[in-house]
Amino acid sequence: MDTGTADYYRRYAQSLTDSSESSRSAMLPHIERALSPGASVLDVGAGSGRDVAAMLRGGFDAFGVEPSADMLATALHFHPALEGRLEQAMLPGLGRPFSERLPGGFDAVVCSAVLMHLEPAEIPQALEAMVEQLRAVMSDDVEATSPALLISLPFLDPCRLIAQRDEDGRRFHNHDADQLRDHLATFGLSLERSIDSDAAFVTAGTLWKTIVFRRRP
Ligand SMILES: C[S@@+](CC[C@H](N)C(=O)[O-])C[C@H]1O[C@@H](n2cnc3c(N)ncnc32)[C@H](O)[C@@H]1O
């Protein structure tokens, strides 16, 4: 992570209190719709651990990776149940986190509000690294149960970006969802659906896209 982005998350982690972050996971409804109960999930860029904790409470076998040591400490402080379920790792290369617990890989990978902090040139490697965390397709998989990658991607009004930084000094790129789809096609994943949430665009100048990809059975 570049210095400006890392500095922001260090300050943010230290400023978080019990009440300062919404406890509602915007990702959980998408996860519940896309996955079978009890599915194993890796959250990449888990931040404060809110989504991993929500998934765990929802009955998923949830894990997370996060590069910021301060965010990891904050996540464990607010969600002690995540002890042993969080590791430090960073895109575009992830290694094989939790491979001793899930040697065959995860049923799903979630990456919410993270990819905008990567350079466009890092995106193909980052996508490949996430696809590598997914388990293989099994003979009894049908389309709705085959391994899934869920990506949530923000598009910030370009007039609010200065030298590819947002007003908090974080590196910020508006990545093209069609390019993500084309890269993932080369790794054997197909687009299942894409959901736009433009409510935040009106209030905060950000359009959110949540995109579900599946490993082809
Ligand atoms: C906006 S927060 C989103 C946190 C969480 N996924 C969510 O949706 O609430 C972005 C997170 O991505 C992490 N991050 C930044 N660069 C990353 C990278 N290269 N790989 C993985 N995570 C990264 C940050 O440390 C931060 O915790």
Residue 112 Cβ contacting ligand 1 at under 6 Å: yes
CA angle 133, 28, 33 (to 5 degrees): 85
Sheet holding 108-112, edge to edge: 86-87, 61-65, 40-44, 108-112, 148-156, 206-215, 189-197
- pLDDT above 80 (res 205): no
Q: Is residue 21 part of a domain?
A: no
Residues 107-157 pLDDT 10s: 999 999 999 999 999 999 999 999 999 999 999 998 888 999 999 999 998
- pLDDT above 80 (res 7): yes
Enumerate the β-bridge partners of residue 150: 110, 212
pTM: 0.95
Residues 44-100 pLDDT 10s: 999 999 999 999 999 999 999 999 999 999 999 999 999 999 999 999 999 999 999
Report the nearest-CA residue for atom 13 of ligand 1: 45
CA distance 70 to 12: 9
Find the domain containing 157 and state its range. 3-15+27-137+144-215
Q: Is residue 20 part of a domain?
A: no
Quick one: pLDDT at residue 201? Answer: 58
Residue 26 Cβ contacting ligand 1 at under 6 Å: no
Residue 71 Cβ contacting ligand 1 at under 6 Å: yes
Closest of 151, 166, 67 to residue 112, by C-alpha: 151
Query: Tell me, what CATH number does 167's domain have?
Result: 3.40.50.150
Q: Is residue 203 part of a domain?
A: yes
Beta strand 108-112 with 40-44: parallel, antiparallel or unpaired?
parallel
Q: Is residue 113 part of a domain?
A: yes
Q: Is residue 78 part of a domain?
A: yes
Q: Is residue 87 part of a domain?
A: yes
User: 11 CA distance to ligand 1 centroid (A)?
Assistant: 14
Q: Is residue 169 part of a domain?
A: yes
Closest of 29, 13, 33 to residue 21, by C-alpha: 13
Query: What is the average pLDDT across 149-170?
Result: 91
User: 65 CA distance to ligand 1 centroid (A)?
Assistant: 9
Count of domains forming the chain: 1
Residue 154 Cβ contacting ligand 1 at under 6 Å: no
CA angle 70, 52, 82 (to 5 degrees): 65
Question: Is residue 129 within a helix (H) or strand (E), and if so which, with residue range?
Answer: helix 123-131
Quick one: pLDDT at residue 200? Answer: 59
Report the nearest-CA residue for atom 4 of ligand 1: 47
User: 139 CA distance to ligand 1 centroid (A)?
Assistant: 34
Q: Is residue 182 part of a domain?
A: yes
